[in-house]
């Protein structure tokens, strides 16, 4: 940035500040450097940037006015919930406005009869279930950050959790959204019924990473709490056998509420950390949770135990009471921080694969781990094929972060190669933007850009995230020659 | 029968794009009554068929769009699985592509989800004749906008479906249906009270003072549920739910306009002038079929007030078959249509005159 740019930047900032203070009270506009720091990154803390200004509106009208102003001034806007995202989706832009929805934290209404909750976007995921508990209801998607993450962010990322196989992702559990477009228009998407007229804009908004509109209200579906939940822990002396056991449970006609796998390194880390009683000599463990009516759970527990034994489990334990069930889960839920104790830093990946490809993917990852000299612990939503390899590294060693990212990128490309995807639930954000060039061709990416333009013509909402430009892919492609073919051969090279 | 007609279909669309020639997309021609009529040359998907990938333990099936629905369902059935959204076929010729394009779901929808909920990915040809793939064959996938779900219910106006991948589920071990004689309001009360409990309900309907409730799941659970619920046994339940789904019940035998109302499940009655209107409820009250001669404007205005939507399912010559969109939403719809079909050649006017 040369001097004139800098002067222009501060001049812009000043006039923007003046205009924003006409819309918002003083305490809702942050512009001093020290006040901006808490907003410089989200859960992907390797990427940091200070926004020009942070705004904290608390009414829909304020959000509309802010967006209208930024639309007029052609200033980019990044919306932010709790900032727990893992892909840099809420990374600010230094020439833009960071729009925090943190003050929208009211649960507007719970309707137990219709089994829905109308909430503001800044409401935390877990607090919806807590509020619905008095009616025997809960909100099913439970991302691991559920005590902190907000429902607005969940919708923006289409968050999952450990119960997706049976209960679906965010997209399956919401009914209506209120959003504000970049032009400041309030839209209601979805309806009071189970479907709505026209195109499925509700699906399009879910997982759109803040690129199409700012979510200001969410109506979620609530489910009756299952009468009973029971957990089974099975140990295997071989990871492939554990993977096959998952297929065998499903072949038996049973859809568990949760079906998780951990490999040896993850088991050790979790056991050292929370003492969940995991078998330390196992190469892999499966954690299978069954829920439903009392009778159904009893029947399924017996059948799953049989299947696990027949699949070669070296040990099968059923939680003897609720306390033990929670202990089984404690190890799994603490797996990320537990792995974090083994190493100064870790990098969490998020690919999904067809489950039958697990042996091949694990073998290749082990080879890459040796090649890059970086250990990997594997935590796996085994039921739905969503892998979370955790690469252990030390950011203080020069070049190690870069090597880690390269290794991570290879894992994602491997997921695409075996018929999977680069992200199952964490989103693309800034983190996986290069791998989007591997998963989609230029025509498909062009359509993504057109979808954005259908909502946000000037490309001001969270620009530069989630969908790479064709130019970026061409540059990335120059480094990654796939099967001897340059991707995007139709593009000019500079 | 299995054949890949992608190339021929692509060439025809490329030609139509260049000539700005509208196409009417037809699968098995089983639901041609649904939606607004399209006066255009036919593009038939019927021959483009075949299951491309199905491994029961992966819970995913991928098939070409022209694959007959009954073929897909028979294959799943052999493996103890099903399409969980229980789609209506309306004819032996119905295809899996048409099923997804119309996003119609049957009695299980309120308890298991709709066609769009089970759609994992699709391959399409857009209005320029370009072949594009969105989504995939895995259950968790958040890379890029969810364009594949956008195709569900778009009735071919954004792209011609070539292949679809759907999540499937095991069939329940047992299903039992119980009948209750009650008023409409009592039925609403009962359905809501039960749906707040973990009872394994998989379908509900109400018509002519009879509430039908289907329970599905593990045998022990279903037996326990019917012990709890009481009610009379329906000995011919399988046929009943099938006839309901396929609109073969006497209720549907009518020349009057048949309306499909999607609304909040606990609404007791709509403020319509014509009190003789005849209703059949499904989905715990969230779907209502209505036979009436009342004007479309009146019904759609009443639905707008309660944030629901009404469409004329059969027997119509009205302009607004589907609930009118607000100008702001219509603008986004038009932008999306332009992005996928710039010359407006794919089923123009099938949903709305503007699209």
- Nearest chain A residue to B334 by CA: give it: A454
Record: contact A420-B136, CB cut-off 8 A: yes
Please check whether residue B326 lies inside any domain of the structure: no
Q: Distance from A10 to chain B by nearest Cα, in Å?
A: 35
For chain B positions 276-315, those within 8 Å of chain A (CB to CB) are: 283, 286-287, 306-309, 311
The question of ipTM being above 0.95 is answered as: yes
The residue of chain B nearest to residue A428, with distances taken between CA atoms, is: B143
Contact between residue A385 and residue A354 where contact means Cβ atoms under 8 Å apart: yes
Question: What is the model's pLDDT at position A492?
Answer: 39
pLDDT of the residue at A4: 61
Is residue B336 less than 8 Å (CB to CB) from chain A? yes
B132 lies in some domain: yes
- Which residue, of B211, B228, B245, is where some domain finishes? B245
Residue A484: both structure tokens together: 């001897």
B-chain CB neighbours of A353 within 8 Å are 138
The 10s digit of each residue's pLDDT in B123-167 is: 999 999 999 999 999 999 999 999 999 999 999 999 999 999 999
Helix (H) or strand (E) holding B212: strand B210-217
Are B281 and B238 part of one and the same domain?
no
C-alpha torsion sign, points A374, A378, A379, A385: positive
User: Does B51 share its domain with B140?
Assistant: yes
Report yes or no on B241 lying in a domain.
Answer: yes
Question: Pick from B58, B150, B220: which is nearest to A295 by CB?
Answer: B220
pLDDT tens-place string over residues A103-117: 999 999 999 999 999
Question: Is residue B191 situated within a structural domain?
Answer: yes
Q: In angstroms, what separates the C-alpha of A397 from chain B's closest C-alpha?
A: 31
- pLDDT score at A2: 52
HSE-up (13 A, CA, CB side) for residue A286:
35
Where residue B58 sits, what CATH number does that domain have? Answer: 3.30.465.10
Check residue A145 and give its pLDDT.
87
Place of tokens 């205009």: A19
Nearest CA in chain B to A169: B140
* B310, B127 Cβ separation under 8 angstroms: no
Domain range enclosing B298: 254-314
Closest in B221, B328, B352 to A293, CB measured: B221
Strands (E), A276-353: 284-292, 315-318, 345-348
**Full-model pTM:** 0.95
Q: CB contact, 8 Å: B136 with chain A?
A: yes
**From A181, A194, A227, residue closest to B283, measured CB to CB:** A194
pLDDT digits (tens, 9 = 90+) for A139-193: 999 998 889 999 999 999 999 988 999 999 999 999 999 999 999 999 999 999 9
Considering only the beta carbons, identify the residue of A206, A207, A355 that sits closest to B58: A355
Question: Is residue A6 over pLDDT 80?
Answer: no
B224 touching A (Cβ < 8 Å) = yes
Distance from CA of B343 to the nearest CA of A (A): 15
Beta-ladder partners of A150: A124
End-to-end CA distance of chain B: 34
Which residues of chain B carry a pLDDT beneath 70? 273-276
Q: What is the DSSP string of B242-310?
A: HHHHTT-SGGG--SSPEEEEE--TT------S-TT-EEEEEGGGTEEEEE--S-HHHHHHHHHHTT-EE
Contacts 24+ apart (CB under 8 A), B349-352: B349/B36, B349/B37, B349/B38, B350/B35, B350/B36, B350/B38, B350/B155, B350/B156, B350/B157, B351/A198, B351/B35, B351/B36, B351/B154, B351/B155, B351/B157, B351/B322, B352/A198, B352/B36, B352/B322, B352/B324, B352/B325
Q: Are residues B217 and B151 in the same domain?
A: no
Element (H, E) at A8: helix A3-23
* Nearest chain B residue (CA) to A434: B143
- Looking at chain A, how many residues does it have? 494
For residue A162, which phi and psi values (nearest 5 degrees)? -90, 0
Taking the mean position of all CA atoms in its chain, how far away is CA A91? 14
Cβ separation A454–B152 shorter than 8 A: no
Are both B62 and B149 inside the same structural domain? Answer: yes
Phi, psi of A52 (to 5 degrees): -70, -45
Q: Is residue B352, in this structure, part of any structural domain at all?
A: no
- Chain A residue closest in CA terms to B300: A197
Q: Are B140 and A169 a contacting pair at CB < 8 A?
A: yes
Instruction: Say if residues B172 and A296 touch (Cβ distance below 8 Å).
Output: no
Find the Cα–Cα–Cα–Cα dihedral B224, B230, B233, B234, rounded to 10°.
-100
CB atoms within 10 A of CB A136: 15
Q: What is the pLDDT of residue A481?
A: 45
What pLDDT, on the 0 to 100 scale, is given for residue A489? 45
Confidence band of A478 (pLDDT split at 50, 70, 90)? low
Query: Who's near A155: CB < 8 A, 6+ residues apart?
Result: A121, A170, A174, A177, A205, A206, A215, A218
Are B64 and B184 contained in the same domain? no
Distance CA B16, CA A181 (A): 34
Q: Where are the beta strands (DSSP E) in A3-147?
A: 29-30, 53-55, 77-80, 97-100, 107-111, 116-119, 137-138
Burial of A373 (0-12, 13-18, 19+ CB in 10 A): exposed
| B100 and B155 Cβ atoms separated by less than 8 Å | no
Is B143–A386 a contact, with Cβ atoms under 8 angstroms apart? Answer: no
For B103, the closest chain A residue by CA position comes to A195
Residue-wise pLDDT for A54-95, tens only, equals 999 999 999 999 999 999 999 999 999 999 999 999 999 999
Are B198 and B269 members of one domain?
no
pLDDT over 70 at A483, yes or no: no
Within an 8 Å CB–CB cutoff, is residue B80 touching chain A? yes
Give the mean model confidence (pLDDT) for residues A305-329: 96
Q: Measure the CA dihedral A25/A29/A31/A35, to 10°.
A: 110
Q: Are A139 and A129 in contact (CB under 8 A)?
A: yes
Rounded Cα–Cα distance for residues B131 and B142 (Å): 21
Distance, in Å, from the CA atom of B189 to the CA atom of B196, rounded to the nearest integer, reads 11
Quickly count: other Cβ atoms within 10 Å of residue B46's Cβ. 19
Strand partners, B280: B289
| C-beta of residue B335 within 8 angstroms of C-beta of residue A454 | yes
Q: Please tell me chain B's helix, strand, coil percentages from 3-state DSSP, rounded to the nearest 5.
A: 30, 25, 45
Inside any domain, residue B199: yes
Q: How far is B181 from chain A (nearest CA, A)?
A: 22
> Chain B residue with minimal CA distance to A189?
B329
Statement to judge: residues B27 and B125 lie in one domain: yes
- For residue B266, give the nearest of A114, A169, A443 by CB distance: A114
- CA separation (Å) from B232 to A292, B50, B190, B251? 25, 43, 15, 21
Give B209→chain A minimum CA distance, Å.
22
Q: Are residues B221 and B75 in the same domain?
A: no
Considering only CB atoms, which chain A residues are within 8 Å of B311?
197
Q: What share of chain A is helix, strand, coil (3-state, %, to 5)?
A: 40, 20, 40
Residue of B87, B81, B113 lying closest to B100 (CA atoms): B87
Contacts of B265 in chain A (CB under 8 A): 113-114, 193
The domain total for chain B is 3
B145 and B194 in a common domain: no
Distance from the Cα of A49 to chain B's closest Cα (Å) equals 24
B256 min Cα distance to partner chain A (Å): 22
Query: To 10 degrees, what angle do helices B327-340 and A442-455 make?
Result: 160
Choose from B85, B105, B142 for mutation: most chain A CBs within 10 A.
Answer: B142
CATH number of B187's domain: 3.30.70
pLDDT at A167: 96
Where are the extended beta strands (E) located within B155-200? 160-167, 169-170, 174-181
CA count, 13 A, side-chain hemisphere, A303: 17
End position of a domain, from candidates B245, B265, B295: B245
Measured in angstroms, the CA of B273 and the nearest CA of chain A are apart by 22
Kindly report the three-state secondary structure assignment for every residue of A222-234. Answer: CEECCCEEEEEEE
Q: What is the pLDDT of residues B221-267, one digit of tens each?
A: 999 999 999 999 999 999 999 999 999 999 999 988 999 999 999 99
Is residue B321 domain-resident?
A: no
Give the SS3 label for residue B84: coil
Contact B141 A296 (CB under 8 A): no
Asked if B145 and B25 sit in the same domain, the reply is yes
Question: Within 13 Å and on the Cβ side, how many CA atoms surround A4?
Answer: 0
Tell me the nearest-neighbour CA distance from B73 into chain A, angstroms.
Answer: 16
Task: Tell whether B347 is covered by a domain.
Answer: no
Look at B150 and A200 and tell me if their CB atoms are within 8 Å. yes
- B56 to chain A, minimum CA–CA distance in Å? 7
Instruction: Give the C-alpha separation, B335 to B346, whole Å.
Output: 15
- B171 in contact with A at a CB cutoff of 8 Å? yes
Rounded to whole angstroms, the Cα distance separating B285 from B283 reads 5
Nearest residue in B to A381, CA atom = B140
Check A193 against B59: CB less than 8 A apart: no
Enumerate the β-bridge partners of residue B203. Answer: B214
Interface test with B, best of A141, A198, A217 (most B CBs within 10 A): A198
Which alpha helices (DSSP H) does A97-225 contain, by range?
Answer: 125-132, 151-157, 164-167, 201-205
Q: Does B169 reach chain A within 8 Å, measured CB to CB?
A: yes
**Partners of residue B58 in chain A, C-beta under 8 Å:** 247, 354-356
The full length of chain B comes to 355
B221 lies within 8 A of chain A by CB: yes
Judge if B127 and B275 occupy the same domain.
no
Q: Are residues B269 and B235 in the same domain?
A: no
């Amino acid at each position: 940035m040369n001097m004139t740019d800098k002067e222009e930047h501060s001049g812009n900032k000043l006039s923007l500040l003046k205009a924003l203070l006409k819309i918002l009270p003083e305490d809702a506009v942050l512009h001093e450097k020290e006040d901006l720091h808490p907003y410089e990154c989200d859960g992907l803390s390797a990427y940091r940037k200070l926004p020009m200004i942070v705004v904290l509106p608390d009414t829909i009208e304020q959000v509309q006015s802010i967006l209208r102003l930024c639309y007029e001034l052609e200033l980019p806007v990044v919306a932010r919930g709790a900032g727990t995202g893992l892909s840099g989706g809420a990374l600010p832009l230094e020439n833009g406005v960071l729009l925090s929805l943190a003050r929208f934290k009211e649960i507007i209404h719970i309707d137990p009869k219709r089994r829905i909750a109308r909430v503001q976007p800044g409401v935390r995921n877990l607090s919806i279930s807590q509020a619905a508990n008095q009616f025997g209801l809960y909100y099913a998607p439970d991302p691991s950050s559920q005590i902190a993450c907000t429902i607005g962010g969940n919708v923006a990322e289409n968050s999952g959790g450990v119960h997706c196989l049976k209960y679906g992702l965010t997209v399956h559990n919401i009914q209506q959204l209120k959003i504000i477009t970049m032009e400041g228009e309030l839209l209601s998407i979805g309806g009071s019924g189970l479907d709505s007229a026209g195109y499925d804009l509700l699906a399009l908004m879910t997982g759109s990473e803040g690129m199409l509109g700012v979510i200001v209200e969410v109506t979620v579906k609530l489910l009756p709490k299952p009468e009973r939940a029971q957990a089974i822990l099975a140990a295997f002396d071989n990871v492939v056998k554990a993977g096959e056991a998952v297929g065998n449970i499903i072949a038996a006609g049973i859809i568990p509420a949760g079906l998780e796998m951990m490999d040896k390194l993850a088991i050790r880390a979790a056991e050292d950390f929370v003492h969940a009683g995991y078998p330390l000599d196992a190469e892999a463990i499966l954690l299978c949770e069954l829920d439903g009516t009392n009778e159904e759970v009893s029947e399924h527990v017996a059948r799953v135990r049989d299947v696990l034994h027949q699949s070669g489990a070296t040990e099968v334990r059923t939680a003897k009471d609720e306390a033990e069930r929670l202990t089984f889960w404690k190890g799994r839920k603490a797996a990320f921080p537990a792995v974090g104790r083994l190493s100064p830093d870790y990098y969490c990946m998020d690919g999904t694969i067809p489950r039958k490809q697990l042996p091949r993917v694990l073998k290749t990852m082990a080879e890459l781990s040796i090649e890059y000299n970086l250990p990997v612990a594997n935590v796996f939503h085994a039921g739905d094929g969503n892998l979370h390899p955790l690469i252990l590294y030390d950011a203080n060693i020069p070049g190690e972060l870069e090597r880690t990212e390269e290794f991570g990128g290879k894992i994602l490309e491997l997921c695409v190669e075996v018929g999977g995807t680069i992200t199952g639930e964490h989103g693309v954000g800034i983190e996986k933007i290069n791998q989007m060039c591997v998963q989609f061709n230029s025509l498909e990416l062009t359509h993504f850009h057109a979808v954005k333009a259908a909502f946000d013509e000037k490309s001001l909402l969270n620009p530069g995230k989630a969908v790479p430009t064709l130019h970026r892919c061409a540059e990335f492609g120059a480094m990654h020659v796939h099967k001897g073919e340059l991707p995007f051969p139709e593009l000019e090279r500079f | 029968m299995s054949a890949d007609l992608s190339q021929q279909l692509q060439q025809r669309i490329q030609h139509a794009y260049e000539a700005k020639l509208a196409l009417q997309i037809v699968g098995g021609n089983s639901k041609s009554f649904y939606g607004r009529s399209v006066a255009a040359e036919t593009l038939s998907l019927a021959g483009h068929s075949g299951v491309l990938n199905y491994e029961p333990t992966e819970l995913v099936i991928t098939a070409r769009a022209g694959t007959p629905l009954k073929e897909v369902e028979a294959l799943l059935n052999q493996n103890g699985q099903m399409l969980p959204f229980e789609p209506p076929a309306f004819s032996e010729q119905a295809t899996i592509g048409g099923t997804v394009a119309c996003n119609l779901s049957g009695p299980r929808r309120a308890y298991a989800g709709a066609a769009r909920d089970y759609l994992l990915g699709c391959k399409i040809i857009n209005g320029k004749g370009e072949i594009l793939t969105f989504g995939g064959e895995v259950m968790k996938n958040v890379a890029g906008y969810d364009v594949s779900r956008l195709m569900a219910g778009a009735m071919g106006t954004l792209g011609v479906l070539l292949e679809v991948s759907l999540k499937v589920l095991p069939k329940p071990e047992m299903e039992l249906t119980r009948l209750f004689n009650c008023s409409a309001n009592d039925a609403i009360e009962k359905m809501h009270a039960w749906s707040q409990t973990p009872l394994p309900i998989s379908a509900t309907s109400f018509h002519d003072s009879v509430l039908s409730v289907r329970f599905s799941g593990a045998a022990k659970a279903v037996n326990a549920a019917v012990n709890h619920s009481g009610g009379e046994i329906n000995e011919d339940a399988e046929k009943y739910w099938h006839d309901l789904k396929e609109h073969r019940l006497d209720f549907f035998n009518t020349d009057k306009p048949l309306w499909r109302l999607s609304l909040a499940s606990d609404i007791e009655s709509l403020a319509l002038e014509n009190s003789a209107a005849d209703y059949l409820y499904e989905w715990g009250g969230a779907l209502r079929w209505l036979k009436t001669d009342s004007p479309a404007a009146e019904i759609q205005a009443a639905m707008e007030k309660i944030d629901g939507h009404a469409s004329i399912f059969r027997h119509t010559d009205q302009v607004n078959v589907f609930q009118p969109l607000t100008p702001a939403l219509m603008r986004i719809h038009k932008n999306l249509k332009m992005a996928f079909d710039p010359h407006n050649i794919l089923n123009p006017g099938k949903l709305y005159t503007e699209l």
